[in-house]
């Protein structure tokens, strides 16, 4: 379970004012919005990358500012844009991150094998990251976020650079995580992906929650004719 209360934060581009939300175990919450709506800043704050001005972040009953280590170890984060250690291979980086999460060598081997197979990284796993293509980098970054089987997963644009096969692999991974009881926060502009995966959806605008609820509830609230997330967004933001 993952909960935030009255979160306020600011960066040069984005602002968040009074955000409260909750993601239950095994649920996917999609956060949508325009470019500077605050969704990327929200991801960074939830991952512990940026400090918040005020507010409470609670991960499985641990408050962030009193139990930082315990909340961090339960969180996995995929940043956007992806930044990796260019001079290491994907395997080495996964092994390093796994060891820093105190995974045993056996557990590390098994986990890396499972993730590499699911994401079909193949031999590129043993190439220096600098020489790999964007899709492979994205898959390695995703595997890093999942290496320690986190209870809370924050994914900022997980399917970017991936083809339709890669997108399906990501979907399967997210579904596997939720089946194991993890809470997933999905920050994306990919409306089809959000529609397929999300149990709840939050639409942000200028740092505030504009709409929140299930897809059906959003359709009802906006009275969208299209009966899809795309229709909801068109109704709200008025694009053609």
Partner 1 sequence: MLKGTVRFWQIRLNQLLNKTTGPDYLLVLLLVCFVYLIGRIWSHWTILSISTTILLLVNIGLYTSVFGLWILFLWRRLPYWAAIFLLAISVGWVSTYNPALVVITNINGPGIYSQLLTMLIGIGLLGTITALFELTKDYQPIRPRQFLTVFSRRQVFPSFTGMGNLVTMGVLRIGRDRFFIATLTFLIFTLVANGMGWFPIGNWLIILTSGMVILSIIISHRLTALSSSLLERFPGLPTTVGAIDFAVSIAGTLILAVISWALLFGLLQLNVVDTVWLTGIFLTGGIDALLISRSARLLDNYGLLGGWWMVILQLVALGMIYLFLWQLNLSGVLLVLGVNMALMVILTSYQESTESVTIKTSWLS
Name the residues that contact partner 1, by CB under 8 A. Answer: 11-13, 47-51, 69, 72-73, 75-77, 79, 83-85, 87-89, 91-93, 95-102, 105, 108-109, 112, 123-124, 126-128, 130-131, 133, 144, 150
Question: Cα dist. 58→24, 81, 110, 230 in Å?
Answer: 12, 26, 30, 31
Question: Cα dist. 198→32, 194, 213 in Å?
Answer: 11, 5, 10
Closest contact distance (angstroms) between CB of 100 and partner 1 is 4
Residue 74 · residue 148 · CB < 8 Å: no
Q: In terms of CB distance, is 34 or 70 closer to partner 1? A: 70
Q: In terms of CB distance, is 124 or 184 closer to partner 1? A: 124
Closest contact distance (angstroms) between CB of 99 and partner 1 is 4
Closest contact distance (angstroms) between CB of 22 and partner 1 is 20
Q: In terms of CB distance, is 152 or 162 closer to partner 1? A: 152
The kind and range of the H/E element at 136 are helix 134-146
According to the 3-state scheme, what is the secondary structure of 198-209? Answer: CCEEEEEECCEE
β-partners of residue 186 are 30, 155
| ∠ Cα 38 43 49 (to 5°) | 115
Q: Other CB atoms closer than 10 Å to residue 109's CB: what's the count?
A: 13
Q: In terms of CB distance, is 98 or 166 closer to partner 1? A: 98
Q: In terms of CB distance, is 85 or 171 closer to partner 1? A: 85
Closest contact distance (angstroms) between CB of 192 and partner 1 is 28
Closest contact distance (angstroms) between CB of 184 and partner 1 is 15
């Amino acid at each position: 379970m993952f909960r935030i209360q009255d979160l306020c934060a600011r960066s040069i581009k984005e602002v968040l004012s009074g955000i409260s939300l909750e993601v239950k175990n095994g649920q996917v919450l999609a956060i949508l919005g325009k470019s500077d709506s605050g969704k990327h800043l929200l991801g960074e704050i939830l991952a512990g990358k940026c400090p918040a001005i005020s507010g409470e972040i609670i991960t499985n009953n641990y408050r962030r500012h009193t139990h930082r280590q315990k909340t961090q170890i339960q969180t996995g984060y995929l940043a956007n844009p992806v930044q990796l250690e260019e001079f290491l291979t994907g395997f080495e980086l996964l092994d390093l991150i796994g060891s820093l999460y105190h995974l045993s060598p056996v557990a590390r081997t098994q986990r890396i094998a499972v993730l590499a197979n699911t994401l079909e990284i193949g031999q590129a796993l043993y190439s220096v990251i600098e020489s790999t293509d964007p899709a492979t980098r994205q898959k390695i970054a995703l595997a890093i976020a999942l290496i320690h089987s986190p209870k809370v997963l924050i994914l900022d644009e997980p399917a970017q650079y991936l083809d339709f096969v890669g997108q399906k692999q990501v979907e399967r991974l997210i579904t596997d995580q939720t089946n194991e009881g993890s809470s997933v926060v999905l920050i994306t502009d990919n409306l089809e992906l959000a529609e397929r995966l999300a149990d709840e959806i939050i639409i942000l605008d200028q740092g505030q929650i504009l709409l929140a609820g299930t897809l059906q509830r959003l359709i009802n609230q906006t009275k969208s004719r299209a009966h899809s997330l795309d229709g909801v967004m068109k109704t709200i933001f008025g694009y053609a």
